[in-house]
Amino acid sequence: MPDYKTGRLDDNGKDVYQDIAYPVTRQFRQELYDGIVKEFHVVMGHMKQADKEEKIKPE
């Protein structure tokens, strides 16, 4: 799991690490990924539309 060094030391003088991400259920992860992919496709559609409109504009 991804983590980062906190800059603190434990009782044994070793670096303390903090988790960046926390485990989630399979259902939540699927909902999250589906939402991200859906928004990605929406943004890509907007970009394609803007590109088409720019190509159509007369100079």
pTM of the predicted protein model: 0.50
Do 49 and 41 contact (CB within 8 A), yes or no? no
Q: So what's the pLDDT on residue 20?
A: 82
Residue 53: its H or E element: helix 26-56
Could you count the other beta carbons within 10 Å of the beta carbon of residue 17?
14
Which residues, at least 6 apart from 16, have a Cβ–Cβ distance to it below 8 Å?
A: 5, 6, 8, 9, 10
Instruction: Read off the tokens for 49.
Output: 């539309």
pLDDT in tens, 3-51: 888 999 999 999 999 888 777 889 998 999 999 999 999 999 999 888 8
Q: So what's the pLDDT on residue 42?
A: 96
